[in-house]
């Protein structure tokens, strides 16, 4: 079932498409190499952000993830709801934290920004749409339930809702 609502496309899980995005947090020009993020220490080298030591004299610029965190402007929102969440909250959040740790080792820009309790359940915000999608898929893979995605291409924003 597709519908347009406020710039968001409602998609079923099977219909989630590869995002074609314009992300205002990605550099508009190629960064000088190497560039080191003064906040997290990630290094831009050979066209991508990685973890590692930057040589002395490396250019310094905040990476897109640290920039998003500083601005409090997430790219992904994952809403967790339902009785199962209340009963298994610690297990569910541990799965997400472990998934983030694994992803972050190879992709420094994929991070959890915040985990907040809400009236509905829990809201997890991320620096990247792919991480939000991966979280929702991991939850569905582990515990099934109901999964919904709303993607706003113009704003490079993904809202996923998982409930059980």
pLDDT tens digits, one per residue of 24-47: 677 667 899 999 999 999 999 999
> Kindly report the CA angle at 12 between 91 and 120, in degrees rounded to 5?
45
* Largest pairwise CA distance in the chain: 54
Res 29: pLDDT: 78
The burial of 70, by beta-carbon neighbours within 10 Å (0-12 exposed, 13-18 middle, 19 or more buried), is given as exposed
Average pLDDT, the chain: 89
pLDDT band at 96 (very low <50, low <70, confident <90, very high): very high
Res. 11 pLDDT band, cuts 50 70 90: low
- The torsion angles phi and psi of 162, rounded to 5 degrees, stand at -120, 130
109 — pLDDT class (breaks 50, 70, 90): very high
- Would you state the pLDDT for residue 58? 96
162 by DSSP, 3-state: which?
strand
pLDDT (tens digit per residue) in 84-93: 999 999 999 9
Instruction: pLDDT band for 2, please (50, 70, 90 cuts).
Output: very low
How far from chain centre, in Å, is Cα 141? 18
For the chain, report the end-to-end CA distance as a whole number of angstroms.
20
């Amino acid at each position: 079932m597709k519908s347009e609502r406020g710039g968001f496309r409602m998609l079923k899980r099977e219909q989630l498409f590869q995002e074609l995005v314009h992300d205002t947090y990605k550099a508009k020009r190629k960064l000088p190499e190497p560039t080191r993020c003064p906040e997290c220490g990630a290094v831009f080298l050979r066209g991508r952000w990685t973890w590692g030591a930057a040589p002395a004299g490396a250019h310094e610029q905040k990476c897109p993830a640290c920039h998003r965190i500083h601005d409090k402007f997430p790219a992904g929102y994952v809403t967790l709801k339902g009785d199962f969440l209340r009963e298994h909250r610690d297990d569910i959040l541990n799965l997400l934290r472990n998934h983030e740790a694994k992803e972050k080792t190879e992709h420094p820009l994929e991070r959890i920004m915040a985990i907040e309790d809400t009236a509905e359940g829990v809201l997890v915000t991320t620096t990247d749409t792919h991480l939000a999608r991966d979280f929702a898929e991991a939850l569905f893979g582990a515990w099934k339930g109901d999964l919904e995605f709303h993607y706003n291409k113009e704003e490079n924003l993904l809202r996923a809702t998982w409930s059980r």
